[in-house]
């Protein structure tokens, strides 16, 4: 995997009531990335979301947080990717991951949506192309499928939030390697971390 990244998408739901919920981990990561770069994310109607453009080690990177609800995330991603002619192989989507415990984050390329409605819509809107990269931010699992909806739409307890933040800090530390296409190095560093 040597693909460089031109677009980083952070998934979440819009509105203050969702801002620190588990489901918004991806959006939080992109907010923090923009803040580290002192570049405010601004509403951009044609991309159906909050948008900024930054430089990471000299590489121009578009940032996007869809302002659609989670299950319509693909509308925003396909609008921006279409406008700037960015192939799925150059897109990184940051999202919450039930199958990983809090305090962990993992990079991967491709794969299914694993029941994640944001990923499901992005895959669909990109013409069923699954070859984009993912930054999976662990939030843990409530234990039973029937509890997932309430679990992801609630705020985690403080200790759990601190673990998730530690994993996001590590993700931001190694993101420049991923942006440059040094996926193996980025993965080796990030995947050895446990917060």
Distances (CA, A) of 186 to 76, 77, 138, 174, 180: 27, 24, 17, 5, 10
Segment 66-105, tens digit of pLDDT: 999 999 999 999 999 999 999 999 999 999 999 999 999 9
Residue with tokens 């991951």: 97
> pTM above the 0.85 mark?
yes
Segment 11-61, tens digit of pLDDT: 999 999 999 999 999 999 999 999 999 999 999 999 999 999 999 999 999
Active site residue 23: yes
- Of 23, 62, 90, 95, the catalytic one is 23
Question: b vs e for 98-125, b when ≥16 Cβ sit within 10 Å of the residue's Cβ?
Answer: bebbbbbbbbeeeeebeebbbbbbbbeb
Nearest in space to 94 (alpha carbons), one of 159, 164, 143: 164
How many Cβ atoms from other residues are within 10 Å of residue 34's Cβ? 22
């Amino acid at each position: 995997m040597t693909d460089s990244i031109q677009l980083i998408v952070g998934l979440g739901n819009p509105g203050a009531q969702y801002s620190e919920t588990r489901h918004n981990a991806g959006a939080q990561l992109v907010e923090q990335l923009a803040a580290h770069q002192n570049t405010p994310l601004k509403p951009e109607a044609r991309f159906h979301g909050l948008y900024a453009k930054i430089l990471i080690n000299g590489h121009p990177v578009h940032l996007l947080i869809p302002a659609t609800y989670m299950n319509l995330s693909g509308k925003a991603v396909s609008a921006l990717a279409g406008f700037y002619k960015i192939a799925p192989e150059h897109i990184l989507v940051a999202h919450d991951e039930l199958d990983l415990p809090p305090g962990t984050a993992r990079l991967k390329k491709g794969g299914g949506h694993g029941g994640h409605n944001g990923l499901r819509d992005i895959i669909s809107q990109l013409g069923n192309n699954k070859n984009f990269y993912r930054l999976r931010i662990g939030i843990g699992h409530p234990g039973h499928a029937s509890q997932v909806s309430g679990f992801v739409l609630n705020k985690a307890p403080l200790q759990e939030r601190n673990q998730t933040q530690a994993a996001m800090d590590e993700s931001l530390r190694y993101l420049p390697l991923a942006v440059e296409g040094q996926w193996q190095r980025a993965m080796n560093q990030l995947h050895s971390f446990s917060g």
